[in-house]
């Protein structure tokens, strides 16, 4: 059976192992320089795969020019799934990388049919939330796609010359004109930092959720075809598992009842955690006897991704498996930890909102 990933689809990817065999993503376990990968996203295999990440790390260690580039769709307030990328970017900055962030307003307008003014508003909100999560403004540059100029748009035209519709459909499935242009724009986003007009050659790493891999595959193909003409090399990439929504399906802005947003009120968090899918048993007696099933539990997923260190996580897992804790009590702990995290984030957001000279770090559209 044909297997395809659609970056514009909302469904959840479950079978991560298939991505190694079908798409050639490499397991993160085999990477050298593991001493640089201490973040729990690596040690807990939340970042589970890569393409040429070893080459990018080697370049970083040798002191060559490296950059981390990723993009966001400005279509609403960021949620914890988005914060995963903030967290990764923060980590890459801590080991020495500069970061460039695309605000994909052209794509939001064309593919998602978002209102133009709202995409600008949400894009600027993204910037503030990213910095509130801890990105270093001195090492971060943001740009809106529609604020870019000729050299960037010339790339999109050039790339269209060496890609056929059949190749694009093999990667993306059914396409509309808006999706074709958006995909080529994403490739320009990924490859343009290597050009003289944008500071000259550098090694580019793109950390993404695995649903965005089609853009990486296209960008790598395009880089090969323009190696001679433009001096492009393939970008590297890392892939994280997608944080699931509280019902076990994909966390998405289009399903707000099952996502935790970074500006969420405490009362709403309480209600959402209360209805979250768990791996608990039908009755308290059964759970005490059989233990819970944390691998099925969205509360345990929140613990694993954001809320607990290794020791605490291990204790909760053991308590759950042995039936020493019931879901009500466990959810109360998760609620308190999550509220604390969101409260701190909101405080930093308010400080940034008051003090940030946004024009200094964001390239905005001028119309």
Interacting residue ranges for ligand SF4, rule: CB under 6 A = 278-280, 292, 294, 297, 299-300, 320, 325, 327, 330-331
Q: CB 319 → ligand SF4: shortest distance, Å?
A: 7
Place of tokens 């954001």: 306
Q: CB 188 → ligand SF4: shortest distance, Å?
A: 44
Tokens of 183: 């995909």
43 close to 205: Cβ distance less than 8 angstroms: no
H or E, element range at 81: helix 80-94
H or E, element range at 142: strand 140-144
Considering the complex, state which of residue 269 and residue 330 has its C-beta at the smaller distance from ligand SF4.
330
Considering the complex, state which of residue 49 and residue 292 has its C-beta at the smaller distance from ligand SF4.
292
Q: CB 298 → ligand SF4: shortest distance, Å?
A: 8
Q: CB 12 → ligand SF4: shortest distance, Å?
A: 19
C-alpha separations of 322 from 45, 58, 288, 302 in Å: 24, 44, 7, 20
Considering the complex, state which of residue 92 and residue 258 has its C-beta at the smaller distance from ligand SF4.
258
Neighbouring-strand partners of residue 203: 66
Residue 126 CA to residue 116 CA, distance in Å, equals: 15
Q: CB 268 → ligand SF4: shortest distance, Å?
A: 19
Place of tokens 């233990």: 291
Q: CB 279 → ligand SF4: shortest distance, Å?
A: 4
Q: CB 229 → ligand SF4: shortest distance, Å?
A: 54
Considering the complex, state which of residue 20 and residue 295 has its C-beta at the smaller distance from ligand SF4.
295
Considering the complex, state which of residue 168 and residue 260 has its C-beta at the smaller distance from ligand SF4.
260
Q: CB 285 → ligand SF4: shortest distance, Å?
A: 14
Considering the complex, state which of residue 66 and residue 302 has its C-beta at the smaller distance from ligand SF4.
302
Q: Beginning with the edge strand found earlier in the chain, give each strand of the sheet holding 236-240 in spatial order.
A: 26-27, 47-51, 236-240, 203-209, 66-72, 98-103, 140-144, 362-363
Considering the complex, state which of residue 132 and residue 330 has its C-beta at the smaller distance from ligand SF4.
330
What DSSP character marks residue 76? S
Considering the complex, state which of residue 169 and residue 315 has its C-beta at the smaller distance from ligand SF4.
315
| Cα angle: 334, vertex 336, 337; to 5 degrees | 65
243's CB contacts (< 8 A; 6+ apart) are 80, 81, 84, 251, 301, 305
Q: CB 266 → ligand SF4: shortest distance, Å?
A: 19
Q: CB 260 → ligand SF4: shortest distance, Å?
A: 15
Radius of gyration of the chain (CA): 21
Neighbours of 255 (CB within 10 A): 14
Q: What size, in residues, is the chain? A: 367
Considering the complex, state which of residue 218 and residue 276 has its C-beta at the smaller distance from ligand SF4.
276
Considering the complex, state which of residue 74 and residue 279 has its C-beta at the smaller distance from ligand SF4.
279
Choose among 197, 195, 186, 19: nearest CA to 107. Answer: 186
Q: What are phi and psi of 20, to 5 degrees?
A: -70, -50
H or E, element range at 342: helix 327-355
Q: How far is CA 185 from the centre of its chain?
A: 18
């Amino acid at each position: 059976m044909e297997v395809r990933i659609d970056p514009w689809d909302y469904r959840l990817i479950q079978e991560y192992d298939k991505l190694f065999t079908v798409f050639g993503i490499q397991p993160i376990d085999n990477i050298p320089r593991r001493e640089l990968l201490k973040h729990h996203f690596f040690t807990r295999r939340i970042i589970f795969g890569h393409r040429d990440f070893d080459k990018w790390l080697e370049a970083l260690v040798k002191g060559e020019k490296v950059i981390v580039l990723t993009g966001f769709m400005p279509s609403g307030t960021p949620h914890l799934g988005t914060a995963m990328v903030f967290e990764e970017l923060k980590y890459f900055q801590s080991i020495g990388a500069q970061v460039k962030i695309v605000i994909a307003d052209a794509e939001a307008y064309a593919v998602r049919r978002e209102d133009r003014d709202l995409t600008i508003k949400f894009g600027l909100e993204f910037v503030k939330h990213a910095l509130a999560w801890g990105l270093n403004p001195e090492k971060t540059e943001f740009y809106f796609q529609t604020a870019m100029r000729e050299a960037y748009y010339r790339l999109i035209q050039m790339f269209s010359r060496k890609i056929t519709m059949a190749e694009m459909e093999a990667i993306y499935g059914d396409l509309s004109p808006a999706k074709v242009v958006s995909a080529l724009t994403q490739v320009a986003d990924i490859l343009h930092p290597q050009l003289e007009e944008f500071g000259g050659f550098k090694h580019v790493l793109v950390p993404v959720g695995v649903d965005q891999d089609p853009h990486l595959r296209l960008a790598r193909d395009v880089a090969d075809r323009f190696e001679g003409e433009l001096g492009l090399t393939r970008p590297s990439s890392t892939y994280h598992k997608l944080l699931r929504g509280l019902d076990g399906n994909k966390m998405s802005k289009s399903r707000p009842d099952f996502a935790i947003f970074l500006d969420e009120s405490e009362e709403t968090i309480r209600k959402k955690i209360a209805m979250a899918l768990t791996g608990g048993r039908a009755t308290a007696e059964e759970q005490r006897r059989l233990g819970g099933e944390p691998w099925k539990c969205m509360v345990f997923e929140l613990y694993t991704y954001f809320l607990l260190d290794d020791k605490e996580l291990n204790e909760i897992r053991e308590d759950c498996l042995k039936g020493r804790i019931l879901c009500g009590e466990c959810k109360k702990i998760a609620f308190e930890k999550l509220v604390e995290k969101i409260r701190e984030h909101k405080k930093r957001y308010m400080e940034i909102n008051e003090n940030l000279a946004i024009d200094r770090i964001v390239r905005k559209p001028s119309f």
